[in-house]
Amino acid sequence: MEKLQNFINGVYQDPVNGAYMDNYEPATGEVYAQIPNSDEDDVKLAVQAAEKAFPIWSAMSNNERSEIMLKIASGIEARLDEFAQAESRDNGKPLKLAMNVDIPRAVSNFHFFATAIEHFASESHQMVGVGINYTLRKPIGIVGCISPWNLPLYLFSWKIAPALAAGNCVVAKPSEVTPYTAYLLGQIVKDAGMPDGVLNIIHGEGGTAGDAIVKHPRIKAISFTGGTNTGEYIARTAAPMFKKLSLELGGKNPNIIFADCDFDEMLSTTMRSSFANQGQICLCGSRIFVERSIYEKFKKAFVEKVDATIVSYPNDPKAKLGAVVSKPHMDKVLSYIELAKDEGGTILSGGEAVQLEAPYNNGYYLRPTVIEGLSYDCRTNQEEIFGPVVTITPFDNEEEVLMMANSTKYGLSATLWTSDLKRAHRMADKLHAGIVWINAWLVRDLRTPFGGAKASGVGREGGWEALRFFTEPKNVFVKY
């Protein structure tokens, strides 16, 4: 069985403690690889390597760093098939999705920040007759990047690319559940000519390897994407050490549908925004609010489409949904479906696991699920499920739907369907969300600020926001 290794100081190596853990294939429920169960000793080695590399990497010109990062982008692109197969196998997502979304986006992340850094500039503030201030933006030093399992290489690269472009050295940890593409990245980085120790990739559990990154005194900033509870723990741990923190956390996003929308476009996009990646995208719209006059029409059309959705093994070209990421996650989602029933909800479609034939009979497959009849403030409608489960709820007017949409502790994204321009702007202004899509979903421009309000996070990623996060501003005043 294949054994993955940590990538420290430009070398693939075993964890110091020699301990390994199982990596499961969601499509079959079988263990298919072993991954390092790293701990603080591996993080120490990674920090030592990063400290050695920092004077070299940070002294390079933006252009030199950019060229290496562009080679990383094309290195991944050249091995698109291999990366997509690995991502799909590790995560359970349809191969098509990994080929068309996950891996191309990882390529774009490196490409985008490799070129962005060449245009990144800092400010100056003249005081007429007195002098001038200019702001230097220096790399922070060694930074920690911790990412989740839902979009493994996509989110891993979304963090490490700006960190590296800005001149930092990185100690990064992918989710233990989906380590494979981050493991492959080591070789790409090496081939691209990145100096040893600039990017170090540690595998292992959040509570040990991840925690050691957060607690290491010489790691000066933490960029984390994951659950709100983990984010809260990381904030509590890192804040007294005065670490810079970027937290991208959970969501419970509303999808608000007015009667005057383009119905067909709304319906097909709503299928995606509800169930893409088995509903395991932090931006999925899991609470669908529909204006009452089209509620029955929507319900009928939506349920018909959901009933017809094919759930299958990831390599099946017909699969719209693949496997969810793990057995514990499948059990969690199923427990929320039971909760929804207890709370008085009616299952209109799905609501159960799917049994495929061997060799996929022990895989983690769930039917996309639609539930109605729940109050907006019940637990099913307030807590993040992070699976292929949506609720539908009618509304009568803007005030009511805004109140329901804004009622959760989260504030990541919102989707709005209407042809009324004034209403669209009015609503966008009032929604508690870091990102609002009007008549669209998951259209991403990498220059825009990305992140959430309330319990969905602290800070923003993307574009200049990310480069600002990964640099320390220093103001210098010169008297005339």
List the catalytic residues.
Answer: 248, 282
3-state SS string for the chain: CEECCEEECCEEECCCCCCEEEEEECCCCEEEEEEECCCHHHHHHHHHHHHHHHHHHHHCCHHHHHHHHHHHHHHHHHCHHHHHHHHHHHHCCCHHHHHHHHHHHHHHHHHHHHHHCCCCCCCEEEECCCEEEEEEEEECCEEEEECCCCCHHHHHHHHHHHHHHCCCEEEEECCCCCCHHHHHHHHHHHHCCCCCCCEEECCCCHHHHHHHHHHCCCCCEEEEECCHHHHHHHHHHHHHHCCEEEEECCCCEEEEECCCCCHHHHHHHHHHHHHHHHHCCCCCEEEEEEEHHHHHHHHHHHHHHHHCCCECCCCCCCCCECCCCCHHHHHHHHHHHHHHHHCCCEEEECCCECCCCCCCCCCCCECCEEEECCCCCCHHHHCCCCCCEEEEEEECCHHHHHHHHCCCCEECEEEEECCCHHHHHHHHHHCCCCEEEECCCCCCCCCCCECCEECCEECCECHHHHHHHCEEEEEEEEEC
Report, in Å, the least distance between residue 409 CB and ligand NDP. 12
* Residue at shortest CB range from ligand NDP: 206
* Residue number, 3 or 300, with CB nearest to ligand NDP: 3
Report, in Å, the least distance between residue 170 CB and ligand NDP. 14
Q: Does 180 bind ligand NDP (CB under 6 A)?
A: no
Report, in Å, the least distance between residue 213 CB and ligand NDP. 6
* Beta carbons within 10 angstroms of residue 348's beta carbon: 20
Report, in Å, the least distance between residue 348 CB and ligand NDP. 24
- From candidates 108, 175, 200, 277, binder to ligand NDP by CB under 6 A: 175
CA distance readout (Å), 113 to 119, 144, 183, 386, 464: 10, 18, 21, 29, 9
* Residue number, 25 or 176, with CB nearest to ligand NDP: 176
For residue 210, give both structure tokens.
Answer: 């991840």
Q: Does 177 bind ligand NDP (CB under 6 A)?
A: yes
Question: Contact 394/291 with Cβ under 8 angstroms?
Answer: yes
* Residue number, 66 or 246, with CB nearest to ligand NDP: 246
Report, in Å, the least distance between residue 150 CB and ligand NDP. 5
Q: Does 452 bind ligand NDP (CB under 6 A)?
A: yes
- What is the total count of residues that contact ligand NDP (CB under 6 A)? 33
Q: Does 87 bind ligand NDP (CB under 6 A)?
A: no
* Residue number, 19 or 347, with CB nearest to ligand NDP: 19
Report, in Å, the least distance between residue 355 CB and ligand NDP. 25
> Distance (Å, rounded) from C-alpha 237 to C-alpha 21?
26
Q: Does 36 bind ligand NDP (CB under 6 A)?
A: no
Q: With contacts defined by CB under 6 A, name the span among 94-102, 173-181, 313-321, 471-479 that binds ligand NDP.
A: 173-181
Torsions phi, psi for 2 (to 5 deg): -65, 140
* Residue number, 92 or 457, with CB nearest to ligand NDP: 457
Question: Contact 346/373 with Cβ under 8 angstroms?
Answer: yes
Question: Which positions from 153 to 172 touch ligand NDP by CB under 6 A, shown as an x/- string?
Answer: --x-----------------
Report, in Å, the least distance between residue 452 CB and ligand NDP. 6
* Residue number, 151 or 288, with CB nearest to ligand NDP: 151
* Beta carbons within 10 angstroms of residue 70's beta carbon: 15
Report, in Å, the least distance between residue 396 CB and ligand NDP. 30
Kindly identify the residues of this chain, within the stretch 201-260, that bind ligand NDP according to CB under 6 A: 205-207, 210-211, 214, 225-227, 230, 233-234, 248-251
* Residue number, 245 or 261, with CB nearest to ligand NDP: 245
Question: Which positions from 277 to 316 touch ligand NDP by CB under 6 A, shown as an x/- string?
Answer: -----x----------------------------------
* Residue number, 349 or 391, with CB nearest to ligand NDP: 391
Question: Which positions from 127 to 156 touch ligand NDP by CB under 6 A, shown as an x/- string?
Answer: -------------------xxxxx----x-
* Residue number, 86 or 348, with CB nearest to ligand NDP: 86
> Distance (Å, rounded) from C-alpha 175 to C-alpha 145?
11
- From candidates 25, 42, 384, 465, binder to ligand NDP by CB under 6 A: 384
Kindly identify the residues of this chain, within the stretch 389-418, that bind ligand NDP according to CB under 6 A: 412
> Distance (Å, rounded) from C-alpha 209 to C-alpha 20?
13
Report, in Å, the least distance between residue 144 CB and ligand NDP. 9
Q: With contacts defined by CB under 6 A, name the span among 119-127, 180-188, 397-405, 449-457 that binds ligand NDP.
A: 449-457
- Selection from 275, 256, 272 nearest residue 404 by Cα: 256
Residues of this chain that interact with ligand NDP (CB under 6 A) are 146-150, 155, 173, 175-177, 205-207, 210-211, 214, 225-227, 230, 233-234, 248-251, 282, 384, 386, 412, 452, 456-457
